[in-house]
Amino acid sequence: MIGTIPLSEVLIVSGALFCIGLCGALLRRNAIQIFLSIELMMNSANLAILGYGASLGTREGQIVVFFVIAIAAAEAAVGLAIFVALFRHTETIDVNRINLLKW
Amino acid sequence: MIALWVIPVIPLVGFALNGLLGTRLGKGFVSAVGVGSAGLATLAAYSRLIPYLSSGGGTPVIEPYGSWIVAGSLSIDLSFRLDPLSALMLSFVTFVGFLIHVYSVGYMHHDETDAGYARYFGYLNLFLFAMLVLVLAETFLLMFVGWEGVGLCSYLLVGYYYDREYAAAAGKKAFVVNRIGDFGFLLGMFGLFTTFGSLSYSEVFGKAAGNPALYQPALTLICLCLFVGAVGKSAQVPLYVWLPDAMAGPTPVSALIHAATMVTAGVYMVTRCNVLFRLAPEAMAVVAGIGAFTAIFAGTIAVAQNDIKKVLAYSTVSQLGYMFLACGVGAYVAGMFHVMTHAFFKACLFLGSGSVIHAMGGEQDMRKMGGLKSKLPITFWTFLVATLAIAGIPPLAGFFSKDAILAGAFEAGGLRILWAVGLFTAGLTAFYMFRLVSLTFFGRFRGTPDQEHHLHESPPSMTLPLIVLAILSVVGGWVGLPAVFGENANVFARFLAPVLPGLKGVEEHAALPHATEWALMAVSVLVAAAGLLLAWSWYARGEGRTPARIAAASPGVYALVADKFRIDELYGVLFVKPFYWLSRTLWKVVDVLLIDGVLNAGAFVVELTGDLLRFLQTGNVRNYALTFLLGLVALLLVVAGWI
């Protein structure tokens, strides 16, 4: 299936997704939205790996992507837990207002 | 027979007991331990001395207790030595020390807290320990340990009333001035070690006596260095300034440390090294010159002092000068003889002055005393005896020792200027001592009615030592009768003879003809009597009107003498001020400005950098992410080779 799509197109989609995610991560103020943007960037990377794997005719790409998805799930759990804890403390998840590390 | 090391260790144990437990167990315990350990040490010393003396006492007994320092070619044994010289010192250091411990019980009892009392006796015992180590040591280094030990105890006891500023300052002064002398002693020891390869008496003196010509060139410098040590410890010009100030300590301390024992350590050391000094005639000349000058200089100052203890202090400096004069002209026996008799009569005088001060409720100014003869009879009679002894009236102890020194100075020949100075000083001594007696004990009472009401003779613990010392001041000189009383009359000289071996290339002075000796004696007695009578007629009967007229006639000279020739002020300008200035410069410029400055500048640069860089920490997570991105882009560009 994916093997029938040319690699260049897969990479274009992947790059576009990455840029959207990046913009979201940099411009959003809501921590959860930033988090989702980062997920988006990660999945764009997954897509790129799958594309390369298919074009090379190997299975390693798919194996690596499975690993990434599994670890991303764990990471999502930790990240969301941090946000909950943060919210309890500061009553906000606006990252502009969470700046205790300022000089 | 007990070992020699036991003798100093007994007072050391007393020091430890009094120091650790004295405050808690009270004055009774402290007195028992303090006096008891001094008494036991005396008994132990005499249990060794009596057999030694009865066996003739010629050969030295050396008791080694193993090696102390071994490093390369340096090897120093821990050993004690009993020979005629150390036996002599041992005999009166322990005995006079014991008497003064007894006296202290009466003197210190009322004024002091339990803690102060324990501290006092602890230090006094420690002093006895150090002094015994000093006299018994067989090596220069062990002697130096005792030498420093007595210096420490002197500092501690001079500053005993540490809450009074002048006492604390006097203690510091004593210590600092002594350090100058000790530095000379150290240099002398270095010289001895490089020259002889050893610091043991027997080896050094044996080598020097065995081959004088080989060692002679180095000896002058070594002897001068050693003599600097003696000048510091024995308060000679120019390092005498600490001794008068040291009178800030309790009076028994002045008697024990600053009159009878510690200050004579310098004379003991020079006599101990007589083999070296006799091979260095130039050094001997310096010793004699300094001694004679100190004798007359300090004697002159004593004439114009009004503090009873200050008179005695300058008198001590003057008498110590006498002893060095004796050593310098080669009359070592006479010097040591005077050390011994001086220990008796000067201890008696100091303790007597303590009794007077005690009765006067702490008053030390003689102008406010007078007429104490009838109120303090025992103090008066013992004081009078000791005064006659120091003035050199026959047949008291001081006459014989002083006469021996004057005879030695006369024998030395030359212009006889040293003899003339000594003779004049003898007259001065008689004068100022009888001035003291007249002002204190004769005439009418010049203090307040309160003080007059309070006047009382001291308790037996104070008067008994006075009586014993007064008796010794009478009979103490009879062991050293001059040669006119027969060839063998001078037991003292025969006893000390083994310490003074004959040396190749050093000629002994011929003994004086008897007629000359009689004449010298007559002259010195006449001079002493003249000084004595003059003081008596001026101060006891004339109530000081004649000297007041003389002082008024030349106020500048009188003020100069009364101000002790303003030597302290001179030293202040010459040494203390520049040193203070140097220290201040080092502190303000080198330490604060340079060293602290460099450190602070470093810290400032770090702080400034931090201040600037911290603005990068916005605390905004998206800024960090952007930085991340820019960094990544830059990295990619570099990897791709575009920049």
DSSP letter string, B165-218: HHHHHHHHHHHHHHHHHHHHHHHHHHHHHHHHS--BHHHHHHHHHH-HHHHHHH
Count, residues in chain B: 643
Q: What are B200's strand-pairing partners? A: B139
Angular region, B4: left φ>0, alpha ψ -120 to 50, beta rest: alpha
Contact flag A98-B629 (C-beta cutoff 8 Å): no
Same domain, B530 and B600: no
Identify the DSSP state of B516: H
Domain assignment present for B435: yes
Structure tokens at A62: 């798919």
Average pLDDT over residues A65-82: 93
**C-alpha span between B388 and B379 (Å, rounded):** 14
Q: How many domains does chain B have?
A: 2
Domain assignment present for A49: yes
Which is nearest to B141 in space by CA: B77, B225, B85?
B77
**C-alpha span between B159 and B248 (Å, rounded):** 7
What residue type is A3 in one-letter code?
A: G
CATH code for the domain of A40: 1.10.287.3510
Q: How many domains does chain A have?
A: 1
Search chain A and give the residue with CA nearest B615.
A103
pLDDT value of position B507: 67
Same domain, B411 and B528: yes
Average pLDDT over residues A79-85: 92
Handedness of CA B328, B331, B335, B338 (dihedral sign): negative
Name the pLDDT band for A3 (thresholds 50, 70, 90): low
Contact flag A102-B619 (C-beta cutoff 8 Å): yes
pLDDT value of position B434: 93
Which is nearest to B406 in space by CA: B427, B429, B423, B389?
B423
Angle among Cα B65, B13, B1 to the nearest 5 degrees reads 50
Residue A19 contacts B where some CB pair is shorter than 8 Å: no
pLDDT value of position B109: 83
Domain assignment present for B10: no
B625: which chain A residues are within 8 Å (Cβ-Cβ)? 25-26
Percent of chain A predicted with pLDDT > 90: 58
pLDDT value of position B594: 94
Contact flag A101-B617 (C-beta cutoff 8 Å): yes
**What pTM does this model have?**
0.82
Name the pLDDT band for A94 (thresholds 50, 70, 90): confident
* Matching residue, tokens 């950098």: B609
> How many angstroms separate the CA of residue B595 from the nearest CA in chain A?
32
Structure tokens at B564: 């002790």
Domain assignment present for A100: no
Search chain A and give the residue with CA nearest B620.
A99
Domain assignment present for A97: no
Residue B642 contacts A where some CB pair is shorter than 8 Å: no
Same domain, B539 and B633: no
pLDDT value of position B113: 85
Same domain, B589 and B491: no
pLDDT value of position B377: 92
The domain in which residue A21 lies consists of 2-90
Same domain, B307 and B403: yes
Structure tokens at B499: 């310490």
The domain in which residue B530 lies consists of 280-502+511-554
Same domain, B534 and B439: yes
Report residues of chain B scoring pLDDT below 70: 57, 413-415, 505-510, 542
Q: Is the ipTM, as predicted for this complex, more than 0.95?
A: no
Which is nearest to B262 in space by CA: B394, B151, B385?
B151
Same domain, B342 and B481: yes
> How many angstroms separate the CA of residue B581 from the nearest CA in chain A?
48
How distant, in Å, are the alpha carbons of B150, B289, B304, B608 from that of B557? 37, 24, 11, 67
Handedness of CA B191, B194, B195, B198 (dihedral sign): positive
Same domain, B371 and B419: yes
A95: which chain B residues are within 8 Å (Cβ-Cβ)? 620-622
> How many angstroms separate the CA of residue A74 from the nearest CA in chain B?
22
Is 70 exceeded by the pLDDT of residue A103?
no
A102: which chain B residues are within 8 Å (Cβ-Cβ)? 617-620
A27: which chain B residues are within 8 Å (Cβ-Cβ)? 622
Contact flag B615-A95 (C-beta cutoff 8 Å): no
Residue B614 contacts A where some CB pair is shorter than 8 Å: yes
Same domain, B482 and B630: no
Residue B626 is nearest to which of A26, A34, A102, comparing CB atoms? A26
Same domain, B332 and B444: yes
Which residues 83-102 in chain A show a CB within 8 A of chain B? 95-96, 98-102
